[in-house]
Structure formats: C-alpha cells, structure tokens
Amino acid sequence: AQKITQTQPGMFVQEKEAVTLDCTYDTSDPSYGLFWYKQPSSGEMIFLIYQGSYDQQNATEGRYSLNFQKARKSANLVISASQLGDSAMYFCAMRPPLLNEKLTFGTGTRLTIIP
C-alpha cells in the first residue's frame, strides 16, 4: 500500500520568500509517480508538477520545483519568490506504476503568504 505524509498542516511565509512544503512517501513499488496539486480557496484542484521515480533530474515548472530525494523517500515542493496568489492548500500525491491507477493523497498543507 502507498502512503503520503505531509507533516505541516499550515505554514506562513512572507511574500517574495521561497517556501518548501514537505512530503514523504512510502511504497514498495520501484516505479511510481509523484504529483503536487494546489487547491485555492475557490476549491478547484490545479496540477502543478510531476516527478517520476526514475527521473534523473528534479522536476521544475516555472516557480515550482520538486526536491526529490529517492533514498529518503521525500518529494518536497519548493516555491520560489512566493506571491499572494500562492496562498492555498497544497497536496502531494502518489500513483503506482499500474495503468488506470488512483492517486493517493496526503492530508495537505495550508500555505498563507503574508504581504
């Protein structure tokens, strides 16, 4: 069974600072995918970034990067130069290698950017 742990229920960060959201995972599969989603107060789930377990480089998408440490089973999301619009819930999720498989989500981190 797969498990995702997000240990930070809430974080407050000053605008323009970088922020790291923690995510650790547990799986016995050698192949898996890791995802981060953002859920603003409006409620939609927005895909941010993907990291494959065999990817050699850390994933980056604009201001988002993923600090992937496979041996530690961690996949932390780094947001550079935070903006007020980054205030939201952030979910880490994992998907096993099988086709059509579900995402297993962590409990989320509520990020608040302070002006």
Partner 1 sequence: DTAVSQTPKYLVTQMGNDKSIKCEQNLGHDTMYWYKQDSKKFLKIMFSYNNKELIINETVPNRFSPKSPDKAHLNLHINSLELGDSAVYFCASSYNGQGASSTQYFGPGTRLTVL
Q: Which residues bind partner 1 (CB under 8 A)?
A: 31, 33, 35, 37, 39, 43-47, 50, 52, 89, 91, 93, 95, 97, 99-105, 107-108
How much helix, strand and coil, in percent to the nearest 5, is found in the chain?
5, 50, 45
The phi, psi pair for 86, rounded to 5°, reads -80, -10
Q: Which is nearer to partner 1, 14 or 107 (CB)?
A: 107
Nearer to partner 1, 15 or 61 (CB): 61
**At its nearest, how many Å lie between partner 1 and the CB of residue 15?**
24
Least distance from partner 1 to the Cβ atom of residue 70, Å: 16
Handedness of CA 42, 19, 90, 7 (dihedral sign): negative
Q: Which is nearer to partner 1, 28 or 42 (CB)?
A: 42
Nearest distance, CB of residue 84 and partner 1, angstroms:
21
Residue 59 phi/psi, 5° resolution?
-75, 145
Phi-psi region of 107 (alpha: psi -120 to 50; beta: other; left: phi over 0): alpha
DSSP bridge pairs for 39: 89
Least separation in angstroms between residue 42's CB and partner 1 is 8
**For residues 38 and 79, which CB has a smaller minimum distance to partner 1 in the complex?**
38
